[in-house]
Structure 1
Amino acid sequence: MRTLFLAGLLAATAFAATAADYKAPRNAFGQPDLEGVWSNASLTSLERGPQFKTLTITEAQAKAMESGRARMMEAQSRPTDPNAPAPKAGQDPGGYNAFWTDPGTRMGRIRGEVRTSWLIDPADGRLPYKPEGYKLYQDTLNKARNTFDGPEARPLGERCILGFGSTAGPPMMNVLYNNHYQLQQAKDHVVIVVEMNHDARIIRLADKTRSPTHIRNWMGESIGRWEGDTLVVETTGFNPGESLRPYFGASLFLSPDARVTERFTRVSADQILYAFEVDDPTVYKQVWKAEMPLNAAKGPVYEYACHEGNYSLPGILAGARKAESEGRRPDAVDLAE
């Protein structure tokens, strides 16, 4: 154990020294070059799971977790048996296997440390909801799950407007698959193309004018500036329709009046340190802060090709209409049956 600890300490120290000495290359405009395809795929998530007590764990602990996840994914990715008996009426028909998912295979590593959450403040790695903010989140989540009146009431991911789980951001979160981002730079703009759901966020560098408060864009309005080698982006004016960003047990909620400040710093040839903080007093007790690595990935980014009105949405609404015609509440039945 002592040997492992010393090895980890030496690796972290060597990484810190290398990062401190690194100087990002410049593009034709003299700006730090952030262009390329990057990925935030990881086994680490925004909030810290109950199995972790600290922000960091040892390499040995991380390797054990990564090996366990690899075995689980291998089992879940086995081909589906085409000769399996058909489910009986009322039974769960099951789902497809997991070979198509790509959540990542490793825990996140920042400055040579293995991270158990992206959140660094609060220190417990949990989102600091106010009681009324958490109630707002829960009420919105329940409404999104249980309203079937029409397509407008369904979550944005189902409607192919924005990727689920705050993939487009800001802040940009890792999810089950399609975790690639392509950064493109011009003199007065930076564009972030998001693999999940074909979103593209335009960050203005020269024009600092904010839109009137009644104009609320998807992904908000992002205005950036350079502070040394760091691109700082402040985003406000979020659309009320994107307050809920659902992703299994790791959903995120931001009010339309939230302010998100992001910092992109290239710390090595193959990594950008992506740090961000969220100021949203409507929902949270304090400003919360996080940091995440964006790791270099092989391009190109292929088209996601999500389109509104695909088979899923008509199926969901048709299931609700069938339940209603039979005198049942759609939110009380399994619409996949």
Structure 2
Amino acid sequence: MNHRRRPLVSVVAVVVAIGLLGTMQASAQTDPPRTAWGQPDLQGVWDFRSITPMQRPNDLADQEFLTTEEAAELDQAAVERDVQSWNREARRTEAGGNVGAYNNFWMDRGLKSVGTRRTSLIVYPPNGRMPSMTPSGQERAQARRDYAREHPADTWSDFSSGVRCILGFNAGPPFTPSAYNNNMQLFQTPDTVVVMTEMVNTSRVIPLNGQPHLDPDVLQWSGDSRGYWEGDTLVVETRNFDAKRKWRGTTASTRLVERFTRVDAETLEYTFTVTDPETWTSAWTASVPLVLNPEPMFEYACHEGNYSMPVMLGGARTEELAGDGQP
């Protein structure tokens, strides 16, 4: 009996956590800008850079918020790390060298923690960390690690969807702060919104007219999204994820609920709740404040079928012939 009640308790706890977060937002926000048809205007390019970690560091234990001084120290440390990266000795391209993230010019991690001074983007569970993985989730994770170790580049499908330019590592959904391309553009009509992330130009066209979800057998990289208004908050529910995207080890059972709330002229509060009973023992929720970016969002030129794929596979075959890898 206790096992049957546990999921209900988890769901109730998440709802309470989101409710409290919503109350805090409501008390702080001014009347949001509105469209000509009366909805809150969520349009624009939104910057979600942040140095606040997704999970609360272990050394902060039950500390939910940083002090003003601690937040300032964290921000200053980020600035100093960035300066050190710029001042490093130049690295020249050479055979066998890193052809990926070798140049700080391409990095755009951000230099500030979130304005709330939270110690993590995760707001539920209360410890600011992801819930424990289920036994089956742990088994799948170990199987992936074992396979990747033995078969790093046997064929194109051994590479991640990010390397293959199908999905970006921070595009989601849900989208989350990462090394670069931390922008999202939102377009809006009375019955549709479009959410497009800078990373790999991932776009979701989201009906708001009550249109039913696709058949459960129709799976997509970014899932199938449907939206509706809950007061001044846009709620987007997404399902039908293709498990091949392997986002944090999730399965096709994943359900995602995103909430977009215009707090003021410059801020859009973005919260999301992820539920996958095959991966985690409970749902978890994160909150990411987005800042209006006055600059346009440019195309990120990463595309599936890029010529680097046959080059990478060719490099793996060369290593095998040289005895550095296992055929």
Please give the per-residue CA displacement for 1:113-161, whole angstroms capped at 9, x wherever unaligned. Answer: 2012111111222211223313323433553564312212210111111
AA matched with 1:60: E
Change in 2 beyond 3 A, CA 1:55/1:330: farther
Normalized against structure 1, the TM-score is what?
Answer: 0.82
* One of 295, 300, 307 as aligned partner of 1:299: 295
Please give the per-residue CA displacement for 1:156-190, whole angstroms capped at 9, x wherever unaligned. Answer: 111111101xx222221111001000000012111
Larger relative helix fraction: 2
- For 1:37 and 1:30, the matched residues in 2 are separated by 20
Change in 2 beyond 3 A, CA 1:18/1:190: closer
Residue 149 of structure 1 aligns to a residue whose secondary structure is coil
Residue 268 of structure 2 aligns to a residue whose secondary structure is strand
Do residues 150 (structure 1) and 155 (structure 2) align?
yes
* 1:182 and 1:194 in contact (8 A); partners too: yes
Match of 1:97 in 2: 103
Do residues 23 (structure 1) and 26 (structure 2) align?
no
AA matched with 2:285: K
Change in 2 beyond 3 A, CA 1:29/1:188: same
Match of 2:49 in 1: 41
Match of 1:58 in 2: 67
- For 1:188 and 1:315, the matched residues in 2 are separated by 45
Match of 1:125 in 2: 128
- For 1:36 and 1:185, the matched residues in 2 are separated by 9
Q: Unaligned 5+ residue runs, structure 1?
A: 1-15, 246-251, 332-337
Match of 1:78 in 2: 87
Of all paired residues, the percent bearing the same amino acid is 38
Match of 1:320 in 2: 316
Residue 233 of structure 1, CA deviation: 0.7
Residue 207 of structure 1, CA deviation: 4.2
Match of 2:14 in 1: none
Residue 17 of structure 1, CA deviation: 9.3
- For 2:52 and 2:70, the matched residues in 1 are separated by 13
* Corresponding residue pairs, total: 301
Alignment of 1:258-277 (within 5 A): 258-277=254-273
Residue 106 of structure 1, CA deviation: 0.4
Match of 1:199 in 2: 202
**CA RMSD between the two structures:** 2.6
Residue 328 of structure 1, CA deviation: 4.0
- For 1:214 and 1:21, the matched residues in 2 are separated by 41
Residue 65 of structure 1, CA deviation: 1.3
Please give the per-residue CA displacement for 1:295-322, whole angstroms capped at 9, x wherever unaligned. Answer: 1112200110112233542332112111
Residue 91 of structure 1, CA deviation: 8.5
Residue 313 of structure 2 aligns to a residue whose secondary structure is helix
* 1:158 and 1:312 in contact (8 A); partners too: no
- For 1:171 and 1:26, the matched residues in 2 are separated by 25
Please give the per-residue CA displacement for 1:43-102, whole angstroms capped at 9, x wherever unaligned. Answer: 0122122342222101210111111121111111236447x8x98x98889963313200
Match of 2:286 in 1: 290
Residue 23 of structure 1, CA deviation: 1.0
AA matched with 2:109: P
Q: Unaligned 5+ residue runs, structure 2?
A: 1-23
Normalized against structure 2, the TM-score is what?
Answer: 0.84
- For 1:93 and 1:168, the matched residues in 2 are separated by 22
